[in-house]
Amino acid sequence: MDSLGNRDHDFDTTLLQKEKDLYEGYNFEKIIPQLPNEKATWSVVTKTRMPLNQNDLLAMVNKQKRKGTSAWTIMNSKEMKGYKRKQVDQLIEGRERADPRFRYELAGLKLDQQSDKWGNRSTTAFHVILKRRLRKDLASAGHAGLGELQEPHREVIDLSRASDDPSEGSSRDYHHGSPPPLHF
């Protein structure tokens, strides 16, 4: 076991060395409001890095692929409208700003949902797996530079003061442009 309590695996580097891809996983949960009359929203969340190794993250992506559910399909669903979608967009954009050598793509997305007594389903948490790829211009120049950047394990993300209206959709276009990174 490692220091986070995960099983140690012999890391199969064949696929990742070939494409120089790495995976990163994040959990998102609503912040519980401090005042009794406030309602928890997806505008203010706790983002926590998944304490999983590359094999575990890749297994999660492959499991979603085997089920035939695409992360892109979920991302474009009504369940991901508004601030949930904006949180994913901000995560991808923030990771690309933090290290411009890489491009980040949505590789996996899972919603935890529960039903109320009337049968209405609501999302209680969601989990995002990003695939980190070396930008093509850097890959052809031979700059591997695959070092890990240090980032907080847990942080609060507050989009409630953002100027964009989340009901108008995302700034990223998930219908057009480059195809999804993995076809599930």
Name the token pair of 165: 């209206």
Structure confidence at residue 175 as a pLDDT band (50, 70, 90): very low
DSSP letter assigned to residue 118: T
Name the E strands within the chain: 22-30, 44-49, 102-115, 121-134, 154-158
CA count, 13 A, side-chain hemisphere, 63: 9
What is the band of 181 on the pLDDT scale with cuts at 50, 70, 90?
very low
Task: Please provide the DSSP assignment of 1-21 as one string.
Answer: --TTSPPP-----HHHHHHT-
Whether the Cβ atoms of residue 59 and residue 169 lie closer than 8 Å to each other? no
pLDDT in tens, 53-82: 999 999 999 999 999 989 999 999 999 999
Task: Give the H/E segment covering residue 136.
Answer: helix 136-141
Q: Pick the residue with more confidence: 138 or 111?
A: 111
pTM value? 0.68
Residue 170 DSSP symbol: -
